[in-house]
């Protein structure tokens, strides 16, 4: 269930974690990603824990070993929590990464899996295993011709403490449920290893409410992470999972496996790059209902549309359902989740200029200086505190509107991010749609 107004005293036990990110060694990622930058901007975002990402890349794991120190428990044993420390300031990491599997099972399959790993020693054992399957030095997210079931079995043989999580599960091209090369069920994808799959990642284009339409996911933890390709706060932590405070890796995965974590932070699913159906090159997007009217064909180029997450969720919901009366409706309650757009997006709406402009950064930095971190601004600071610190009334209104999940978003499609709307008037919607030079149905 969505709940955008947490009680302040409830947050004292929170540990906000983004456990799916990438290093500079993954394709299409910032070349300035390093551990110091991740720690710096993670703190500014308000994160308490970040996954390292890309453990399989030889240079990156070497850097992790050189820059991170594992926290020990009272008996001197490693906890799986790693610290980066600078100027007596510590930031927490755990070892993580993403693997791309491309193989044939009935037809061509493509699946991305996030791995949470108990320590660097286990990561090195996984790397030794991967070396028997192919190369891992050309990209932080290496590709292997291994099935989801075989790969998960092999991970469990290395360590039962490895957590295998299907990444951005609905993404058309690389999600386990993706419309282009995915499966219709987790059982079909993981076979006898399904018992070792305890969680799925929503991805930017879906949220827990949408996933609750799939009965198979009732006993699966629904977690969210950013899949960030940079350390900037409008990407890092844009989706995250809220754990109870923990000092060990084993406690974190216990919370996942027993579904005792607190909840998740989500963007509006429409903000994601694959929420609606469409064609990026044609500048055309549409709802699932319109796609059905068009019989899945783009009216501009006459080729098949890229079917987005919204379409695919409804499609599988009907395939899984035994009754048309409940098909497409949530079938179970989910953890609490908070629907938020990044603060940069809100400031951009306020100023009317781009997220990365000097104007937006100036306002952003001023808010961080006054209120500590971004999640504090997005979730906690009261109207009265904003007024007391001299924040402009219009910006206060947008922040509070975002906090209550009331900022509308033009849906993203076929690799194009969704666009936040300044107001819900038809005049503004028309202006934004025209500026993006796309057709929206």
pLDDT digits over 98-149, tens only? 999 999 999 999 999 999 999 999 999 999 999 999 999 999 999 999 999 9
How does the average pLDDT of the chain come out, rounded? 93
Q: Say whether pLDDT at 321 is over 90.
A: no
Distances (CA, A) of 129 to 123, 133, 238, 303: 10, 7, 33, 41
pLDDT digits over 203-226, tens only? 999 999 999 999 999 999 999 999
Q: Phi and psi for 200 in degrees, rounded to 5?
A: -125, 155
pLDDT digits over 387-402, tens only? 999 999 999 999 999 9
Mean pLDDT calculated for residue range 298-304 = 97
- Alpha carbon distance 235, 227 (integer Å): 8
Q: Say whether pLDDT at 431 is over 70.
A: no
- Alpha carbon distance 432, 409 (integer Å): 10
Q: Domains in the chain, start-ordered, CATH in brackets?
A: 8-271 (3.20.20.140), 341-403 (no CATH)
Q: Say whether pLDDT at 4 is over 70.
A: no
- Alpha carbon distance 3, 255 (integer Å): 20
Distances (CA, A) of 148 to 20, 31, 219: 18, 30, 19
pLDDT digits over 358-387, tens only? 999 999 999 999 999 999 999 999 999 999
Q: Say whether pLDDT at 435 is over 90.
A: no
pLDDT at 328: 78
Report which secondary-structure segment, H or E, holds 108: strand 107-117
């Amino acid at each position: 269930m969505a709940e955008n107004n947490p009680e302040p005293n409830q947050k004292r036990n929170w540990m906000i974690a983004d456990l799916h990110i990438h290093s500079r060694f993954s394709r299409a990622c910032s070349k300035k990603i390093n551990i110091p930058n991740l720690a710096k901007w993670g703190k500014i975002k308000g994160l308490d824990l970040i996954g390292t990402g890309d453990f399989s890349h030889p240079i990156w794991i070497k850097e992790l070993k050189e820059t991170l120190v594992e926290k020990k428990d009272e008996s001197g044993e490693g906890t799986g929590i790693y610290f980066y420390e600078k100027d007596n300031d510590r930031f927490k990491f755990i070892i993580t990464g993403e693997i791309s599997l491309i193989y044939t099972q009935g037809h061509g399959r493509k699946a991305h899996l996030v791995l949470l790993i108990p320590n660097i020693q286990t990561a090195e054992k996984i790397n030794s295993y991967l070396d028997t399957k192919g190369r891992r030095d050309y990209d932080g997210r290496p590709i292997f011709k291994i099935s989801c079931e075989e790969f998960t079995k092999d991970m469990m043989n290395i360590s039962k403490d490895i957590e295998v999580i299907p990444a951005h599960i609905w993404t058309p091209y690389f999600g386990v449920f993706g419309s282009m090369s995915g499966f219709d069920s987790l059982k079909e994808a993981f076979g006898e290893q399904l018992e070792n799959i305890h969680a799925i990642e929503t991805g930017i284009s879906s949220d827990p409410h949408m996933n609750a339409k799939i009965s198979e996911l009732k006993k699966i933890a629904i977690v969210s992470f950013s899949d960030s390709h940079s350390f900037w706060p409008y990407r890092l932590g844009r989706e995250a999972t809220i754990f109870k405070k923990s000092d060990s890796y084993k406690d974190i995965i216990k919370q996942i496996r027993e579904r005792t974590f607190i909840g998740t932070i989500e963007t509006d699913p429409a903000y994601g790059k694959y929420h609606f159906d469409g064609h990026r090159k044609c500048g055309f997007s549409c709802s699932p209902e319109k796609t059905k009217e068009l019989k899945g064909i783009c009216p501009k180029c006459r080729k098949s549309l890229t079917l987005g997450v919204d379409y695919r969720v409804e499609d599988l919901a009907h395939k899984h359902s035994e009754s048309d009366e409940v098909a497409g409706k949530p079938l179970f309650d989910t953890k609490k989740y908070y629907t938020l757009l990044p603060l940069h997006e809100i400031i951009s709406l306020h100023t009317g200029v781009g997220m990365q402009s000097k104007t937006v950064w100036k306002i952003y930095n001023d808010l961080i200086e006054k209120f500590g971190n971004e999640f504090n601004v997005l979730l906690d600071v009261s109207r009265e505190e904003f007024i007391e610190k001299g924040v402009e009334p219009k910006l206060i209104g947008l922040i509070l509107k975002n906090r209550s999940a009331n900022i509308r978003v033009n849906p993203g499609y076929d690799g194009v991010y969704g666009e936040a709307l300044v107001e819900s008037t038809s005049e503004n919607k028309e202006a934004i749609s025209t500026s993006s030079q796309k057709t929206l149905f």
